[in-house]
Amino acid sequence: MESTLVIIKPNGVKGGIIGEIISRFEKSRLSVSGLKAKSLTKQEAEGFYAEHKERGFFGELVGFMTSGPVILIALSGEKAVEKVRTINGATNPANASAGTIRHDFAPNTGENIVHSSDSAASAAREIAFWFEKSELVSYPAYSYLK
């Protein structure tokens, strides 16, 4: 069992594909341990993406992530980190495999619809960044979906 953090970025929220995105994770037998809608402050976005602060695109990234509400999601399940990275697709949607979220919906690298943790260690840090322990749940996973 593993957990990972997903953020549906502002264009995914405004684009009306919150349900479509969460459905893809549920169909992959991942369960929703935490879920909230939030408008990020500049300080929160800068803190969350601190590892990228020296990169040329940092200002653009923070500007985009504060341009509208996001959905924060903690997902749990077997190999959750790797599974979600695969479902999301490559950072640059032009390189994303067919059927991935970024391939299907993302217009460009800067506005690539979803964030996901890149390792179990990042996931632990990122989930703790947005969620109190009391805001997280776990439940036995089974699915009505075929």
Q: Which residues bind ligand IDP (CB under 6 A)?
A: 52, 57, 60-61, 91, 109-110, 112, 115, 118
Choose the contact partner of 57 out of ligand IDP, Mg ion, none; CB within 5 to 8 A by kind. Answer: ligand IDP
Going through the chain in order, the beta strands assigned E by DSSP cover 2-8, 31-38, 70-77, 114-116
A 10 A CB-CB count for 94 gives: 10
Q: Name the minimum Å distance from CB 9 to ligand IDP.
A: 7
Q: Name the minimum Å distance from CB 137 to ligand IDP.
A: 26
Nearest to 114 by CA among 97, 102, 98: 102
Annotation says 103 is catalytic: no
Choose the contact partner of 109 out of ligand IDP, Mg ion, none; CB within 5 to 8 A by kind. Answer: ligand IDP
Q: How far apart (Å, rounded) are the C-alpha atoms in residues 15 and 84?
A: 20
Choose the contact partner of 26 out of ligand IDP, Mg ion, none; CB within 5 to 8 A by kind. Answer: none
Q: Which is nearer to ligand IDP, 60 or 78 (CB)?
A: 60
* Catalytic hit among 24, 83, 102, 115: 115
Nearest to 116 by CA among 34, 18, 6, 20: 6
Q: Name the minimum Å distance from CB 101 to ligand IDP.
A: 11
Q: How far apart (Å, rounded) are the C-alpha atoms in residues 48 and 2?
A: 21
* Type of residue numbered 118: D
Q: Which is nearer to ligand IDP, 3 or 112 (CB)?
A: 112
Chain-centroid distance, C-alpha 87: 11
> 3-class SS at 91?
coil
Q: Name the minimum Å distance from CB 104 to Mg ion.
A: 20
Q: In the complex, which residues of this chain contact Mg ion (CB under 5 A)?
A: 118
Active-site positions? 115
